[in-house]
Amino acid sequence: MKITGAKAHVFLSDEDVLSIIEGGEGKETDEDSTYFVFDKGEESKIPVEINNFFWSPKEGEQIELTEGDKIFKITKDRYCKTSADYSAEQGTIDVSDDCDPGAQILDGVVSISGSFSGFLQIDELTGDYYNASEMVLNKFFKIVKDEADGTYKVTERNDNQIFLLICLNTAAKVGQYEPWLMVPARISSVSGSFGNTDAQNQDISWVKGEGIPVIYKRKKVA
């Protein structure tokens, strides 16, 4: 079976260190939520290592968060893409000699990067940008919101890393595994065009940030 790129959906979440959840008595995960692990306590019950992603149980008993656990709950703002791609590669080291001319070995350093494109999404009622579109712009621009009554909201430029989550098969059925590409990422560039006969768009490039990229296969249940 082969599937089209239209079945891959892109979601973004901004990293916010002020929203890190710390473990302790009575603390546990929320149902069916995605998390990134910043730290673990000595008696942690979190099922993955530091700098990894995990998903809490869809329902029922949740994962207890013990003293020393520090996790971030990832919100998923969908970015409606027109295209997206990724690249993963390793460097090579020349180990050739006269017994084995041209031999190469991998250096073990995996570089991951990619891009995605879409249109600037605007709320029809308010005229404001949707969260995902504004999140990208805010990596490069300060944003000022003026209510025209003397009220102003200033959002300073924020180049924190994001969490890039791509569901690779949104058509997965109940009982099947739904594959996700999850990457802590930095948005390295954004560009757009405003041609008179074109839709306003965004072209975004990203590189791996701090943390472990993963292909995460979660079983889809009713």
Which residues, at least 6 apart from 171, have a Cβ–Cβ distance to it below 8 Å? Answer: 3, 7
Average model confidence (pLDDT) for the chain? Answer: 96
| Cα–Cα distances in angstroms (integers) from residue 148 to residues 138, 151, 153, in the given order | 22, 7, 11
153's tokens: 């909201």
Is the per-residue pLDDT at 18 higher than 90? no
Residue 67 lies in a domain: no
Task: Decide if 53 contacts 182 (C-beta within 8 A).
Answer: yes
- What CATH number does residue 96 fall under? 2.40.30
How many independent structural domains does the chain possess? 1
pLDDT over 90 for what percent of the chain?
Answer: 97
Residue 154 lies in a domain: yes
Average pLDDT over residues 125-140: 95
Residue 204 lies in a domain: yes
Residue 193 lies in a domain: yes
Residue 209 lies in a domain: yes
Is the per-residue pLDDT at 10 higher than 90? yes
Where residue 1 falls among pLDDT bands split at 50, 70, 90? confident
Measured distance CA(199)–CA(192) in Å, rounded: 10
Q: DSSP E strands: which ranges in the chain?
A: 9-14, 21-22, 34-39, 53-55, 70-74, 77-79, 81-94, 104-119, 143-146, 152-155, 162-167, 177-191, 201-208, 214-219
Residue 102 lies in a domain: yes
Residue 156 lies in a domain: yes
What's the DSSP call for residue 164?
E
Question: pTM for this structure?
Answer: 0.92
Is the per-residue pLDDT at 17 higher than 90? no
Measured distance CA(42)–CA(45) in Å, rounded: 9
Structural domain of residue 213, as residue ranges? 5-15+75-219
Closest-CA residue to 129 (of 115, 147, 149, 143): 143
Q: Is 51 left (phi over 0), alpha (psi -120 to 50) or beta?
A: left
Q: State the amino acid at position 18 in one-letter form.
A: L
Residue 50 lies in a domain: no
